[in-house]
Amino acid sequence: MNYSLKSSALVCMTVLLSSTALSAETFRWASTTDPQTMDPHAVNSAPVLSFMNNIYEGLVRRGKDMSIEPSLATSWEPLEGENGWRFTLREGVTFQDGSAFTSEDVMFSYQRASNEAADVRSWFAPVSDVRVVDDFTIDFVTTAPNPLFPDSIANFMILEKDWAEGNDAALPARDAENFATMNVNGTGPFTLASRDPGVRTVLTPHEGWWGEAEHNVTEAIFTPIGNSATGLAALLSGEIDFIQPIPLQDVAQVEERDGFKVLEGEETRVIMFGFGHEHETLLYSDDVTDSNPFTDPRVRLAAAHALDIDSINRVLFRGKIQPASQLVPAGISGYSEANSDRPEYNPDRARELLAEAGYPDGFSFGLKCTNDRYINDEALCRAAASMFAAVGLNAELSTGPVRDYWPQLREDDFDMYLLGWSPGTFDMEHPIRFLMHSQNDEKKLGSWNFGNYSNARVDELLPMIQQEIDPAARQALIDEVVAITQEEVAYIPLYTQPLIWAAKDNVELTQRADNFFLLRWVTVN
């Protein structure tokens, strides 16, 4: 499929800015989760990073279509004679307190964000040194060639050095709050007018912002609304202008009312099933207790052939999901066009494969799923369990809230499990690093590869992918990884999740594929 066509359709749903004169407006919006903190380095979670992108800025940023564009850096190029990148900074930028932005602030923010107290420090794992060249030039030296480094720091936000140090916020708050938990001083288009955590957060435009304002918001009021029915009622009663996300089943409710619209896009999150590759026996089986059939790739392939994604899509998702062949959706950099086929629904083939593997009558096993993490996750697992059962794979389903799900997976308490993965860097390297490389705590690799899928060639290819500058050669390496992991059915990629937001008709905004909502693209007509 045509890349640009597909990506523009998939990655972004931009509604054209209307040409009417921009007038002053208060904009009210809601989301399910309150950002835990106003400190952009303290928590590496989507609610925080998405929110803080309105207030703080990075050296680079992502545009409406997720592409990397200049922000506080106007340009960047590889260092000569060593590995790393030189960033040329924007001049004339001021922080919200009026002080000027220089490379010292970048240096300070780097030290702050890479400190042990910061949750975002993993972004700087490849960095060996940072050097201030002059007021508007800074070098990031990396241990190896790192073509994707600029992309990987799009959410690395810059704080003002004197402000942070002067207010005892030189480090992110780990245990107790500090000044930066509730106060801000960024260079971004909006600043914090008031904050009542969990209740109401008000943003107002930063008058001295360097950029050209595309929005017409004079005041933006955010309210977290955890209960989806309440959120919907708040929208339909007109008390809020926009809500993200709404449940699939409420789409019709919104669409049939005048004055409201549903914004649908596709998130980059791929939902998949994973296996206990390393487990010697099944934990939850009634019939196979002395071995783990899932170590046989034929059994894993059989499981993949048993799943009818089209039916799942039709029945559970109202046709809003995209079947996935690999761990990133099409349109994301590194997506392997050469391996875009997924195992088709073929229960007969599944039974044959099971028979070949020595399980003609199938076997029972445990399937672990979340029930509050992904859209319709529990329903999906029920459907999958019945599809598995049709070929003889009797899944004993257990579902639970995500808050105790990860610890169970970390303790290897599963035979098969559900996982959703959104590539933080918007590149295929990300899932390879976290999900496909074998577990290696020391190198911090494979940290979400719960079943410890391990293939020496994949482990070998990862650093090569990370360091390859030539796009074609890099893609060839990625294609090889995808081919291997498909061949061995390391995971069963299922589909990419839809993004469903709802707004009043008079609100124009941009739905970005990373589920970030940015005020600078909002117009209220």
Partner 1 sequence: MAYFILKRLIQSVFVMLAVAFLAFSLFRFVGDPITQMTGVETSVADQERLREELGLNDPFVTQFVRFTGDMLQGDFGFSYRTRQPVAEMIADRIPATLELGIVALLISLIVGIPAGVYTALRPRGVVSQTILMTTLIGVSVPTFVIGIMLIFLFGVQLGWLPTFGRGGTVQIGGWESSFFTVDGWRALILPAITLGVYQLTLTMRLVRAEMMEVMRSDYIRFATARGVPMRRLYFKHALANTMVPVITIIGLQFGGVIAFSIVTESVFQWPGMGLLFLESIRFVDIPVMGVYLVVIAFFFVLVNLIVDMLYVAIDPRLRVKDAA
Residues of this chain that interact with partner 1 (CB under 8 A) are 34, 36-37, 42-45, 116, 119-123, 173-178, 181-182, 196-200, 223-227, 229-230, 233-234, 236-239, 401, 403-404, 406-407, 410, 424, 434, 441, 444, 447-448
Closest distance to partner 1 from the beta carbon of 232 (Å): 9
Would strands 363-370 and 393-400 be described as parallel, antiparallel, or unpaired?
Answer: parallel
Is the torsion defined by CA of 44, 45, 46, 47 positive or negative?
A: negative
Residue pair 11/331 in contact by the 8 Å Cβ criterion: yes
- The nearer residue to partner 1, 226 or 471, going by C-beta atoms, is 226
Residue 356 CB, shortest distance to partner 1, in Å, is: 37
Please say which residue, 14 or 122, places its beta carbon nearer to partner 1: 122
Q: Which of 441, 445, 442 is CA-nearest to residue 461?
A: 445
Q: Which is nearer to partner 1, 181 or 376 (CB)?
A: 181
Phi/psi zone of residue 66: left (φ > 0), alpha (ψ -120 to 50 degrees), beta?
left
The secondary structure of residue 89, as a DSSP letter, is E
Q: How far is the CB of 173 from partner 1 (least distance, A)?
A: 5
Q: 225 vs 4, 33, 91, 195, 371, CA distance in Å?
A: 36, 7, 40, 15, 19
Q: Cis omega before residue 245 (within 30°)?
A: yes
Minimum Å distance from CB 203 to partner 1? 18
Quote the least distance from Cβ 431 to partner 1, whole Å.
11
Least separation, in Å, of the C-beta of 364 and partner 1? 26
Are the beta carbons of 112 and 164 closer than 8 angstroms? yes
Cβ proximity to partner 1, 408 vs 525, nearer residue: 408
Q: Which positions ≥6 away from 352 have C-beta within 8 Å?
A: none
Structure tokens at 211: 């950029």
In angstroms, what is the minimal distance from the CB of 253 to partner 1?
10
Nearer to partner 1, 173 or 384 (CB): 173
C-alpha closest to that of 331 among 496, 510, 474, 483: 496
332 or 384: whose CB is closer to partner 1? Answer: 332
Do you know the residue count of the chain?
A: 525
**Among candidates 437, 476, 480, which has minimal Cα distance to 459?**
437
Question: Which C-beta is closer to partner 1: that of 221 or that of 383?
Answer: 221
Least Cβ distance, residue 130 to partner 1 (angstroms): 20
Residue 181 or 496: the one with the smaller Cβ distance to partner 1 is 181
**217-224 and 12-14 strand pairing:** unpaired
**Closest distance to partner 1 from the beta carbon of 299 (Å):** 28
Chain centroid to CA 246:
18
Smallest separation, CB 176 to partner 1 (Å): 5
**CB-nearer residue toward partner 1: 258 or 404:** 404
Contacts of 439-444 with CB under 8 Å at 24 or more apart are 444/122, 444/125
| CA nearest to 514, candidates 67, 153, 54 | 67
**Which neighbouring-strand residues pair with 220?**
27, 203
Which residue, 30 or 509, has its beta carbon nearer to partner 1?
30
Task: Categorise residue 376: left if φ over 0, alpha if ψ from -120 to 50, beta otherwise.
Answer: left
Q: Alpha-carbon distance 70 to 64, whole Å?
A: 13
